[in-house]
Amino acid sequence: MDEQRYLKTMGNHYIFIKNFDCDFIILLLSVDDMLVIGKNIKKITSLKNELSKFFTMKDLGSVKQIPGMRISRDRQRHDLAISRTEYREGAREILYRQGEAS
């Protein structure tokens, strides 16, 4: 990600950000998942094409859920909602899995 000039956030080493003139892309990485957030579809497509040179990737389309959060989107109303109602259960599940791996 350094080659692409993405900056790793200090608090979360799995989140990378790249700023453009009046735009940005946020890349969240998990064990075998990746979430790309941004407005500019051309820049997102370029990032995915570049990453696919190094990794086997499958585009699953718009995100609806990540651990502990549900994401809903109304494109006509330009509305994005993130629900954390299941956050505690998701966090417990992740901690439980980590405990099993130890």
Q: What is the pTM of this model?
A: 0.62
Note the pLDDT tens digit of each residue in 33-74: 888 888 888 998 988 898 899 888 888 888 887 776 788 888
The predicted structure's pLDDT at residue 102 = 44
Q: Tokens representing 95?
A: 């901690």
Of residues 30 and 56, the one with the higher pLDDT is 56
Domain residue limits, the chain: 1-60, 62-102
At 96, is the pLDDT very low, low, confident or very high (cuts 50, 70, 90)? low
- Print burial letters for 59-93: b (CB count within 10 Å at least 16), e (below 16): eeeeeeeeebebeeeeeeeeeeeeeeeeeeebeee
Question: Across the chain, what does the average pLDDT equal?
Answer: 76
Contacts of 92 (CB under 8 A, 6+ apart): none
